[in-house]
Structure formats: C-alpha cells, structure tokens
Amino acid sequence: MDVTNAVRYWEEWDVLFPTMQKMKAEGNKVPQFCFWSFNGPAITVVQDLYEKVYKAGKYKDLWFYWDGKPLLLYNGTPSVDANGQGIKHPNPNYDPAAKTDPNHPHYGDPDYTEENYLDYTREVKDFFTLRTMWWGYYEWAGKRFIGTEDNWSFGYDLGNDKVAAMNPDDLVSRHLGQKEEAAVTPAQHPSSLVGKSWSREKGEPELNDQDLPVPTLVPWLGKTVEHPEGYGIYFQERWDEALHADPQFLYINDWNEWTAGKYQPGDGKTTHFMRRDSPYFFVDQYNAEFNRCIQPMKGGYTDNYYMQMAQNIRRYKGARPIPELKGKSSIKIDGDFSDWKETDVEYRDTIGDTFHRNHKGYGGLVYVNDSGRNDIVTSKVAVGDSSIYFLAETNAPLTAHTDANWMLLLLDADKDINTGWHGYDYLVNKTVTDDKKTTLMKYDKEQKENPWQKVADLTYRYNGNQMEVEIPRDILALQGTSFSFDFHWCDNPADLVDPISLCVNGDSAPNRRFNYRCIWSE
C-alpha cells in the first residue's frame, strides 16, 4: 500500500481489506499487503500504521511476511526524502512526564520523551522486516544506493550514465550479501525520456508530434512495428535481466498510476521536457509511451502488459503442470449431472466477478456496467467413444437460454492462433434453438458477412446452476487415443469483435484472453 507521500487512505482501506477477506472466504485467491512509506514525516506515518493495523491485529490474515516478519518498506534515512532534508516527525505518544518522572512507565524512553521522533520506535524495529525502497538512483542521501544491502528499488534510473553502465546483476539489491530484490517496470519517468520503447542498445526512439515513438524494431520479433509502445520493449528487457539474476523477490511497478499530474515551472518559465523547452511537465505518466502502468486500458494496447507480466511471472515462479484427463466416460445429457461426479479434473474461474459497477470517475464521469449475469465458476470435460462432453457450473441459477450471448463456449480445436476467429475454430450457443437443442458453428473467414457458419445441431440441458452439452468428436477432428485442445466459456459479451470483447462485459472463464487446455488420453 503506497503511502510514500504520507497520505493514509483509511476510508479506502476499510473497504478494500474486508472485500479481500470476503473474496478469500468465497474461495478466491487474494494478494497480501504491506505498506510503503518514504516522503514527509515517515516515522510518524509508520508508527500510525503500526498502531492502528499491526498492533491492533487488523486484517492479520492478509499481512505479507518476509524473512519471518511482516514486511515494511520504508525510508531508512528519514531525515532526507525526495523533497529535501530536515523533516520533522511529530510523536503522537509524546509525554513530557516521561522525561522527568522516574515513576512514569516510559521514563527515559525516547519513544515517549521526544516531541519529534529521531528514529523509528523500538516496537517498529522489532516487529517488522525492514527494507528501504526508493527509485534506483546510483546514490541517495549521500551514499551508494542501487544494488546495496537492504536497499530495494522500485525502478532503475537507467537514464543515468553510471546506472546504465552497471552490470544488470549489480542492480539487484542484496541481503547478507545474497541477491534479494530486483525491480521490473514497464518504463521510467517521462522526465528521464525512458519510455516503454526504450532499450539499452537503441535508447528512446524518435518521437512524433504527439510524443509517441515512430515505428521501431521489436528485438524478439526481428521486425519494425507501428505503435511500438504496445509491445513492452523496455518491460521485457527488464524481465530478461531479472530472470537471469534470479533474486528471491521481484518488485513490479506499477499496476495503476493513470492519474496524470501536469506541472508548470511558474512565472512564465519553461523546462526541458520531451527534448524541447516546455511550459509544463509530467512526472509519472504522460501518454501511452511514457507511463509505468500495467493495468489493461480501453483501446490502444489493451491488456498487452498484463499478459506480458503474467507470462514472465510464470517464468520466474514456475507453474503447475496442466492436469490430464484420462480414460473414457459415458455422460448422459439429461440435466441430472450426477454422472459428472467421477470426472475429477476441474477448471476454475474467479467467484464473484460479475459484480455490477456504478461508480464516479473523474470530471463528472460515472462508470456503469451491469452486464454481469451468469458467474461461471467451474467447468469440466469428459471424453467418450464418439463425443466430447462439456459441463459448466455457475455461482447462482442460470438465466434463461433466450438471453443474448448466453453461455458461449469457444473451442480452439487445433491450438493454432492463426486459424479460426483469433484461434477459436468453433462456437457453441451462438444460436440456441430451445431448452434442449443448440448449435455448433465453425468460423469461416471467407464468409465476410457471417463468418460463423452452422455445422451441427447439439443436444444440451441446463438445470439450476449447471449446463451440459455433447459435441461429436469427428466434427472437431479430435480422434485417436490422445489429443488436446483449448476452450473458453463466456456469458453476455456485448459483441465478438476480438478477444478483448470477452474481457469487458459479462463473465469470461478463464479471465481475459487465457484459455483452459484439455489434455486427454485413453
């Protein structure tokens, strides 16, 4: 939780943390939290957080532990911050009597005798695992900083010649001499002119009249592309370096920093910004090239950075093997569902992600989305002699099959992104005939007006919160004694323009552009 500017968001946390606990109780995986303090009266801020959250034992099941204790990211030299020196840290526990009265329970204890804290309290030092974290400068507070003992970075100052000249492994912070933490960011600050398309070899590309990069070479593609800001050139370079270093901890910065602060020098002066004299500047985010955000955006490069992050986290942490489905089953499509109990491979999705939205944004804008309908939570696959069977289960009883875009099942039978509709070759339930019969459609790119063409009628049933459907194996070309394919459930997308259509409205299982993979052998 970012409190680096000394602002505590108590009202927001009192909503966020109980919501996380509720999600956890529902069976969802949720993150754990720690706090990060730095600027302003950091000692006072930390003491406040310690007393109101940690000492009080609030949200204990959500605390993030590191090295056996709750982690606190802080300013190890609190007399110096990003705004200067001489910061005072008011002590809310100050008691003059503690300095003069020998009978006072805290007599002589500097945690109580000083009107302003001179250091973090003994309680804080004993309770937390402490790490300083700030931008990866070569020097900070008069000392070498980046890559040193217990000094973590939230990004690297690669616009600085000394930092850029360092071996990537030497950027990694140490603890007891061992590599502990590396930072991975999609870019740096706009003022450093290190954007999302910057690379060590080429630097920042030439910018057009909108301060966006001109067509640029993407190294791993080996070709020059339009809108290189969508390809994560800087991001992947940092990932590759971090994966090679393989420290104990990666700090990824940041998820959401979309609020753009525009600043002016004042008095009619200009400042150097974007390779020109400018009457204004932006510090953290400016445009699609100069921001450090990973959160998916509307339009532009959509969720590219999220998918890139997920891919690289898997490379860093590893991933469980895909469960394999073995043997044949005989499923009767009758709406009873009891014959599915013997199928133990289950594909899961987030519970509760059809929650309706109605919330204020900036400038009078209100975000409204009430498209959440059937919350898909689990699904199964079974294979018989001549058919493949699918089961979907929702968190509440299914709505009527007459609803638009109801319980769509997309199939990538050949696991080839270059065939079908963005890889999906078949679609179930685009047209539902009645409560017992639905359709299977195949994508035909030659049919420009109506590319989804019917290839078969299918038998299906739904009852309560479950639905099952049977598809002939020969139609899908999934024959033999073993095969694999990908599939994706969704409900109530507004349209089927591209895979992002599955991410914005209704529900999608699995989330966003991911697929489930069924691996079967006889």
Amino acid letter, 401: H
The DSSP output letter for 93 is: T
Range from 45-59, 68-82, 205-219, 354-368 carrying the lowest mean pLDDT: 354-368
Q: Are residues 190 and 281 in contact, defined by beta-carbon separation less than 8 angstroms? A: yes
Kindly state the percentage of the chain with pLDDT values over 70.
100
Same domain, 394 and 503: yes
Average pLDDT over residues 36-63: 98
Domain boundary (117, 133, 149) is at: 133
Domain boundary (279, 304, 319) is at: 319
Both tokens of 354, joined, read: 């059809």
pLDDT for residue 327 is more than 70? yes
Same domain, 260 and 397: no
pLDDT for residue 207 is more than 80? yes
Average pLDDT over residues 428-452: 97
Domain boundary (87, 105, 133) is at: 133
Q: pLDDT category, 270, cuts 50, 70, 90?
A: very high
pLDDT for residue 257 is more than 90? no
Q: pLDDT category, 188, cuts 50, 70, 90?
A: very high
Instruction: Give the span between the Cα atoms of 376 and 410, in whole angstroms.
Output: 14
CB contact set of 194 (below 8 Å; sequence gap of 6+): 158, 159, 187, 188, 204, 234
Same domain, 341 and 389: yes
Both tokens of 149, joined, read: 């003992």
Average pLDDT over residues 404-423: 98
Neighbouring C-alpha atoms within 13 Å toward the C-beta of 371: 20
Tally the domains of the chain: 3
CB contact set of 150 (below 8 Å; sequence gap of 6+): 76, 130, 131, 132, 173, 174, 175
Same domain, 272 and 385: no
Average pLDDT over residues 387-413: 98
The DSSP output letter for 403 is: S
Residue 315 sits at φ, ψ, to 5 deg, of -65, -35
pLDDT for residue 266 is more than 90? no
Same domain, 77 and 33: yes
Torsion of CA 364, 365, 368, 369, to 10 degrees: -160
| Residue-wise pLDDT tens digits, 211-247 | 999 999 999 999 999 999 999 999 999 999 999 999 9
pLDDT at 314 (0 to 100):
97
Both tokens of 25, joined, read: 């109780």
Pure H helices in 50-115 = 97-100, 110-113
Q: pLDDT category, 410, cuts 50, 70, 90?
A: very high
- Determine the structural domain holding residue 95 and report its residue range: 1-133
Same domain, 61 and 200: no
Same domain, 296 and 158: yes
How many other CB atoms sit within 10 Å of the CB of residue 274? Answer: 16
Q: pLDDT category, 70, cuts 50, 70, 90?
A: very high
pLDDT at 258 (0 to 100):
64
In 3D, which of 87, 84, 109, 86 has the Cα closest to residue 99? 109
Instruction: Give the span between the Cα atoms of 36 and 44, in whole angstroms.
Output: 13
CB contact set of 234 (below 8 Å; sequence gap of 6+): 185, 186, 187, 188, 194, 195, 196, 197, 198, 199
pLDDT at 359 (0 to 100):
92
How many other CB atoms sit within 10 Å of the CB of residue 498? Answer: 12
Same domain, 202 and 63: no
Same domain, 358 and 246: no
pLDDT for residue 104 is more than 70? yes
The DSSP output letter for 51 is: I
Same domain, 301 and 381: no
pLDDT for residue 380 is more than 80? yes
Q: pLDDT category, 461, cuts 50, 70, 90?
A: very high
Q: Are residues 405 and 492 in contact, defined by beta-carbon separation less than 8 angstroms? A: yes
What is the rounded average pLDDT for all residues in the chain?
A: 96
Same domain, 114 and 24: yes
Same domain, 397 and 278: no
pLDDT for residue 322 is more than 90? yes
